[in-house]
A and B are shown apart, each in its own frame.
Chain A
Amino acid sequence: MSDPPIIVVRNLKKSFGDLEVLTGINLEISAGEVVVIVGPSGSGKTTLLRCLNFLEEYDSGEVFFDGQLVGYQDKDGRRIRDAEATISSIRAQMGMVFQHFYLWPHKTVLQNVIEGPLVVKKFPQVKAKELGTAMLEKVGLIDKANIYPSKISGGQVQRAAIARALAMEPLALLFDEPTSALDPELVGEVLDVMKQLAREGTTMVVVSHEIGFAREVADRIVMMDEGNIIEQGTPEEFLQNPKQERTRNFLSKVLH
């Protein structure tokens, strides 16, 4: 784990109105590392993830991605929001996969995958299609390339969404409960793709309740509760010997 951190979070705070959902998070994620974030609902996992690519504006603290402060810049000692172009270019290097997939329903699977390369990276059609095809092959969906998302299963939709994120050739991938909205029998195919990515050395931050997945491929498991990280460690340490009472409670519920 000697790689330099690609994501650095320092004293990150975020409130929605009176409710403080992140109370000062510190976290470093190295290139190639797979970090699984667990915790009860409402603990701030998703908000943390969305702050990493600035889908959620944070109130104070810092998020650095590849050495660059995300979302803000300092001007005369004051912090101001970055230009949209700057924020977008950071997001383009950080893929994200959502709980509810959010494929674009008016575009075919392949069109979904090549939209980013075409529009953001300005790839020519041919090059974008080659890339898109390769990504669909990787997630095992090449035969669904020209089909609309409404015609394929939830598991296939989520794999297409992963291909869409991969097509931007990001430096890191964020997963927000990628299997929570799936029927149980479709979870496996999505986790298989994610495991493959993990083994290939993809940097991944995964919010998930899939403890089996975490045990198998995570380098580190991070436990959040009430807006902060209360415990973290390798899967062995974390799962076999949790130190916090709240972690033990939580694990007993999800492991059953």
Chain B
Amino acid sequence: MYNWHFEVVWDYQGVFYHGALVTAQLTGFAFTIGILGGLLIAFSRLSRFRVVRLPAAFYVEIFRSTPALVQLVWIYYAMPILMGVQLSAFVSVAVGLGLHTIADFGEIFRAGILSIDRGQTDAAKAVGMQYRQTMWRIILPQAVRRMVPPFMNETANLVKLTTLGSILAVYELLHASNNLITTTYRPLEVYSAVAIAFAIIIYPIIYFSRQLEKYWEKKS
């Protein structure tokens, strides 16, 4: 029978708080980049013009068909050689995950918009509404409700993806834990604590998403 010694972990709780903060920062940056860029990508892919549509589609396919880890490493090592800028490991991971999230969020936004019956648009056009009015007042309010579940899923995924930062020695939760193990020799306790820490971060996102869905279900 294994003797658990969680008190060791408890003594080093500061390491987890700091790791969680870095994880939250990475998530926050990537999330913000993902939303703004995702909207741009989604509307570009829905454009009437091929010159706008094609590059956006190309971007999405590139990012969705390569592993996030490869993207991060590539950005970290390629940028100084190709562009002469050395990004810090933290910035590389934040930007890399951001670019990755753009592709995923973009697809969620696009699919959400496309899932709304064309008749909804026709009815808006028929009363004389223009594209922008139709999009903001008729299509997006309906589409957002359908986007929420996959969007929250992807956000939870993004939190998990920040652990890739450990490869570039960014002090997010996983990397902080690996370091802690070298001083405590308590991998089982430390990794268990990391798992719990992630659950504490991610579960509220899932819970919030469910509550929102329930609220909307009741309302319509």
Q: What is the bound-complex CA distance between A94 and B141, given in angstroms?
A: 26
Q: Which residue of A lies closest to B138 (CB)?
A: A104
- Chain B hits for A105, CB < 8 A: 142, 220
Is B179 part of the contact surface with A, judged by Cβ < 8 Å?
no
Q: What is the bound-complex CA distance between A84 and B130, given in angstroms?
A: 7
- Chain A hits for B122, CB < 8 A: 55, 96, 98, 102
Q: Which residue of A lies closest to B219 (CB)?
A: A148
Does A115 contact B128, Cβ atoms closer than 8 Å? no
Is B207 part of the contact surface with A, judged by Cβ < 8 Å?
no
Q: Which residue of B lies closest to A83 (CB)?
A: B130
Does B137 contact A115, Cβ atoms closer than 8 Å? yes
Does B127 contact A98, Cβ atoms closer than 8 Å? no
Given contacts A115-B137, A119-B133, A148-B220, contact A104 B128 (CB under 8 A): no
Binding site for B on A (CB under 8 A): 53, 55, 84-85, 88-89, 91-96, 98, 100, 102-106, 115-116, 119-120, 148, 150, 161, 164-165, 168
- Chain B hits for A116, CB < 8 A: 127-129
- Chain A hits for B137, CB < 8 A: 115, 119
Q: What is the bound-complex CA distance between A164 and B127, given in angstroms?
A: 8
Does A168 contact B128, Cβ atoms closer than 8 Å? yes
Q: What is the bound-complex CA distance between A96 and B142, given in angstroms?
A: 22
Q: Which residue of B lies closest to A161 (CB)?
A: B123
- Chain A hits for B130, CB < 8 A: 84-85, 88
Identify 20 residue pairs between A and B in the complex whose beta-carbon atoms are under 8 Å apart, listed by A's number.
A55-B126, A88-B128, A91-B126, A94-B126, A95-B126, A96-B122, A96-B126, A98-B119, A98-B122, A98-B126, A100-B117, A100-B119, A102-B120, A104-B123, A106-B145, A115-B127, A115-B137, A116-B127, A116-B128, A165-B127
Does A120 contact B117, Cβ atoms closer than 8 Å? no
Is B49 part of the contact surface with A, judged by Cβ < 8 Å?
no
- Chain A hits for B219, CB < 8 A: 148
Q: What is the bound-complex CA distance between A95 and B117, given in angstroms?
A: 20
Q: What is the bound-complex CA distance between A92 and B145, given in angstroms?
A: 28
Find A53's partner among B119, B126, B141 (CB 8 Å cutoff).
B126
Interface string of B32-60 (1 = CB under 8 A from A): 00000000000000000000000000000
Q: Which residue of B lies closest to A91 (CB)?
A: B128
- Chain B hits for A85, CB < 8 A: 130
Given contacts A55-B122, A102-B119, A105-B142, contact A168 B127 (CB under 8 A): yes
In the A-B complex, the 10 residue pairs with the smallest Cβ-Cβ separation, listed nearest first, are: A92-B128, A116-B127, A102-B123, A96-B126, A102-B119, A120-B128, A88-B128, A91-B128, A106-B141, A88-B130
- Chain B hits for A120, CB < 8 A: 127-129, 133
Given contacts A89-B128, A105-B142, A120-B128, contact A98 B123 (CB under 8 A): yes
